[in-house]
Copies of this chain bind each other. A is one copy, B any other.
Amino acid sequence: MFYIIGLGLADEKDVTVRGLEAIKKCSRVYLEAYTSILMVQKERLEAFYGKEVILADRDTVETQSDEILHKADIEDVCLLVVGDPFGATTHTDIILRARALKIPTRVIHNASIMNAVGASGLQLYNFGQTVSLVFFTETWKPDSFYDRIKENADLGLHTLVLLDIKVKEQSDENLARGRKIYEPPRYMSIPLAVSQLVEIESSRSTGILDAEKTLAIALSRVGGGDEHQRIVSGTLRELLDHPADAYGEPLHSLVIVGKRLHHLEVDYAQEFAINRDNWRAVAKDVYGCALD
C-alpha cells in the first residue's frame, strides 16, 4: 500500500492516530520537504516514529516518483506531507502514477491552512479562491494574483494569500554552472508581502488593496498553540508598519478581508488587532458593517 499522509500544521503530534499507525507499518517513510514546512526537524519526527525519515525534494516527488513507489505493491510505503495531501498539485501526480502502476493508495487527511484559516474568525463560507504570492525580483513581478483578489473582492469575498517559500533553490550562477549548491531557505514575511500587494495596487489603482481602507489578517503557525501561533489584524498600512518579528516564525499567510464582512467576524478578529479602534472604524465606515 502507498500512503500519503497529512501531518497537519504544527509539529509531530498533529499527525492523526490513523496516520501514525500507518507510518509505523511502513518499510520506507518519505517526507515531502519543499512546498511547506513543519515547526520541527526531521530528527524529531524520527524519534517520534521510531524510524528513519527520508527527505524527498521536488525532483524526487515530481519526476522520480517511481523511487518512492518502488515495491509499494508488496510493502507499505508512505509519503508525509505537511498540512493535507491535496494542498499541492504534485500529490495528485504521484497518485496518478501509483494508479498506473496498479499500486493501492490511501490518503490520510489532516488540517491545512485552507481550512485552519478559520482561526482568524473569518467564516470559511465567505472565502473566494486562494492565491499565491511569489517573491518579486527587479525584473519579475508576476501580478496575476491581483486579478484573482479583485474577482473575490468584487463579490465581497475574503482571499487567502499563501506566501512564497524558497527551499533548496539554486542561485542563477550555481544553476548555470550546474552546481548543486543551494541557498538557505527563505520565507516571505508579512511586511514584504503587503509591500508587494501595495506596489501592484499603485500601478493598477482599482482601490481593492488601498492601504488605509483594506483590512487584512496575518497568520503564522496556526495550530501551534499560544506559544507559537500569531494572528494579527489591521489595515494593510498597519500591517506594513508593524515590526516583522511581531508576526512570529514562518510560515505566514495573509487574508484580504472582503466586504461581505459580518459583525461577528469583526468582533472575533478585533482580539488580534494592532489598533482595535481603527479596526472597528474601518469595518464600520469602509466595509459598512453594522457595529455599535
The contact size tier of chain A is 35 or more
By the criterion CB–CB under 8 Å, are B119 and A107 in contact? yes
The residue in chain B whose Cβ has the minimal distance to the Cβ of A126 is: B129
Q: Does A111 contact B (CB under 8 A)?
A: yes
Q: Does A222 contact B (CB under 8 A)?
A: yes
By the criterion CB–CB under 8 Å, are A116 and B17 in contact? no
Chain B residues contacting A126 (CB-CB under 8 Å) are 129
Contact with B along A1-41 (1 / 0, CB 8 A): 00000101110111111101100000000000000000000
The residue in chain B whose Cβ has the minimal distance to the Cβ of A11 is: B18
By the criterion CB–CB under 8 Å, are B21 and A16 in contact? no
By the criterion CB–CB under 8 Å, are A13 and B17 in contact? yes
Contact with A111, one of B115, B118, B121, B127 (Cβ below 8 angstroms) = B115
By the criterion CB–CB under 8 Å, are B111 and A110 in contact? yes
Q: Does A65 contact B (CB under 8 A)?
A: no
By the criterion CB–CB under 8 Å, are A106 and B16 in contact? no
The residue in chain B whose Cβ has the minimal distance to the Cβ of A8 is: B16
Chain B residues contacting A10 (CB-CB under 8 Å) are 18
Instruction: Report if A223-B109 is in contact (Cβ < 8 Å); known contacts: A87-B124, A115-B84, A155-B129.
Output: yes
Q: Does A220 contact B (CB under 8 A)?
A: no
Contact with A86, one of B9, B13, B119 (Cβ below 8 angstroms) = B119
A243 to B: closest C-beta gap in Å: 25
Chain B residues contacting A99 (CB-CB under 8 Å) are 271
Q: Does A226 contact B (CB under 8 A)?
A: yes
The residue in chain B whose Cβ has the minimal distance to the Cβ of A132 is: B125
By the criterion CB–CB under 8 Å, are A13 and B21 in contact? yes
A sample of 28 cross-chain residue pairs with beta-carbon separation below 8 angstroms, ordered by A number, consists of A9-B109, A13-B18, A14-B17, A14-B18, A16-B17, A16-B110, A17-B17, A85-B118, A86-B116, A87-B115, A87-B118, A92-B264, A96-B267, A106-B226, A107-B119, A109-B111, A109-B222, A110-B110, A111-B111, A111-B112, A112-B115, A114-B114, A114-B124, A115-B115, A126-B129, A127-B130, A128-B128, A129-B155
